[in-house]
Chains A and B, each alone.
Chain A
Amino acid sequence: MRGDPGNFEVLTPTSLPEALRLMSEAALDQDSPLLKPLAGGTDLMVLMEMGALQCERFLSLHAIDELRSFRPEEDSVAIGAAMTFSRIRTEAILREEFPLLCEAAGQVGALAIQNRGTLGGNIANASPAADSAPALLAYDAELEIVSQSGTRRIPYSAFHTGYKEMQLRPDELIRSILLPRKWKGCHQSFRKVGARAAQAISKVSFAGVLRISDGLIQEARIAMGSVAPTPLRCVHTERALQGKKLDFSAIGRAKEALFKEISPVDDIRSNREYRLRVSLNLIEDFLLSARK
Chain B
Amino acid sequence: MSAPKKISLHCTVNGEPRELNAYPMARLLDVLREDLRLTGTKEGCGEGECGACAVILNGELVNSCLVPAIQVQGAEILTIEGAANHPIAAQVQEAFLRHGGVQCGICSPGVILAAANLLSHDKAPSEADIRESLAGNLCRCTGYSKIVDSVAYAASDLKGTRS
Contacts and interface: CB of A to CB of B under 8 A. Distances in A.
B63 A113 contact: yes
16 contacts: A5-B30, A8-B4, A9-B24, A41-B66, A41-B71, A46-B66, A49-B46, A62-B70, A62-B71, A109-B48, A110-B136, A111-B133, A113-B63, A113-B136, A115-B60, A116-B66
B24 A8 contact: yes
A116 B62 contact: yes
Contacts of B62: 112, 115-116
A199 B1 CA distance: 38
Contacts, number: 100
A110 B61 CA distance: 10
Contact of A197 (B69, B71, B133, B135): B135
Interface of A: 5-10, 12, 32-33, 38, 40-42, 45-46, 48-50, 56-58, 60, 62, 86, 109-113, 115-116, 197-199
B38 interface: no
B23 A6 contact: yes
Interface string B128-145: 000011011100000000
Interface of B: 1-2, 4, 23-27, 30, 46-49, 51, 54, 60-63, 65-71, 114, 117, 132-133, 135-137
Given A9-B24, A58-B25, A116-B62, A110 B68 contact: no
Given A110-B135, A112-B51, A7 B4 contact: yes
A115 B121 CA distance: 14
B114 to A, nearest CB: 7
A199 B135 contact: yes
B70 A116 contact: no
Contacts of A38: 68
A111 B54 CA distance: 11
Contacts of B133: 111
A8 B25 contact: yes
Contacts of A58: 24-25
Given A8-B4, A45-B66, A111 B71 contact: no
B1 A33 contact: yes
Contacts of B132: 111, 198
Nearest to B7: A10
B67 A45 contact: yes
A112 B47 CA distance: 12
Q: Most A CB atoms within 10 A — which of B62, B65, B133?
A: B62
A292 B23 CA distance: 58
A118 to B, nearest CB: 12
Given A6-B23, A7-B4, A49-B46, A42 B66 contact: yes
A31 to B, nearest CB: 8
B136 A198 contact: yes
B48 A42 contact: yes
A10 B66 contact: no
A49 B48 CA distance: 11
Nearest to A33: B1
A38 B67 CA distance: 11
Given A111-B114, A113-B136, A46 B71 contact: no
